[in-house]
Amino acid sequence: MKVLVTGATGQLGGALKRTAPQSAQLVAIGVDDCDLTDVKALRSCIDDVAPDILINAAAYTAVDRAESDESLARAINTDAVGEMAIAMKSRGGKLVHVSTDFVFDGTSPRAYAPDDKRAPLSVYGRTKADGEDRLGKNDLLIRTSWVYEAGGSNFVRTMLKLMQEREELRVVIDQIGAPTWASGLAETIWGLVRKGASGTFHHCDAGVASWYDFAVAIGEEACALGLIDRIPAIHPISTTDFPTPASRPAFSLLDCSATRELLGDASVHWRQNLRRMLKAEKELG
């Protein structure tokens, strides 16, 4: 099985490389290897590798910047995905595409199921939803949320830096979802690939959290591991207290029951995976 992975230098791309099964003949590319906004270059790359499966872990993820840079966000999150889908269909292969909880508007009274109606609130969310629509019926779509990984650019590492620098922090409490450790997401993706799955699936870690809850846990776990000397005061604030260019869903918990049932495993609580990530972060130095 020959597998092409895009976004190789990102958090998920790196995790996919580390967790790849021995049966996978893996080719991983990053932005320096192929400009996804260049259709000819993208088609040439896919033709050269000739993969059976293409896992697209690349995305434009600058949520606020996308509000003023929609053309680039759309080129990567929508148009490039469409080209990948066409190329893989012509080869008789499968596109595995990773999307986001931001395709939902946050008004659901329960965790979002894979087939729930999408209603994105931001440019980022709309371009990701439009990218989803480019997939074929035999392709695989995996939505996730709040992704982080040791060594990456993410909320956890931002909090660690701020906790070392400041005596107090203010973190939003009225946006609810679930953090996702990229390594666990990668293992789920490989599991779905092995199962030959098609259609839409969700993956996030077990449990529920606000960004405030997540920040408090980061402080407690990081202090216990010696990554920070003391936990600063962390104050809960509302979304209206911290305005951003892009609107975010107030509630974006994902229902992952179909994923877990197919794979025959159980979700790991986000706090347990946070602890694993922080231990890996400590090893990085």
Per-residue pLDDT band at 285 (split at 50, 70, 90): confident
Q: What is the pLDDT of residues 63-87, one digit of tens each?
A: 999 999 999 999 999 999 999 999 9
Closest CA to 207 of 254, 172, 174, 242: 254
**pLDDT given at position 200:** 98
Across residues 190-214, what is the average pLDDT?
97
Architecture of domain 2-153+179-204+252-268: 3-Layer(aba) Sandwich (3.40)
**pLDDT given at position 205:** 98
**pLDDT given at position 282:** 93
**pLDDT given at position 31:** 86
Q: What is the pLDDT of residues 101-158, one digit of tens each?
A: 999 999 999 999 999 999 999 999 999 999 999 999 999 999 999 999 999 999 999 9
CA 139 to chain centre: 18
The model's pTM is 0.94
Catalytic residue of the set 112, 124, 148, 212 = 124
Catalytic, 212? Answer: no
C-alpha span between 97 and 280 (Å, rounded): 27
Across residues 1-23, what is the average pLDDT?
95
C-alpha span between 112 and 74 (Å, rounded): 24
Please, which residues have CB within 8 angstroms of residue 138's CB and are 6 or more apart in sequence? Answer: 89, 94, 198
Q: Give the chain's mean pLDDT.
A: 96
Quick one: angle between helices 182-194 and 11-19, nearest 10? 50
Q: Could you tell me if 212 and 32 are in contact, meaning their C-beta atoms sit under 8 angstroms apart?
A: no
Please, which residues have CB within 8 angstroms of residue 69's CB and are 6 or more apart in sequence? Answer: 62
Across residues 163-184, what is the average pLDDT?
96
**pLDDT given at position 32:** 87
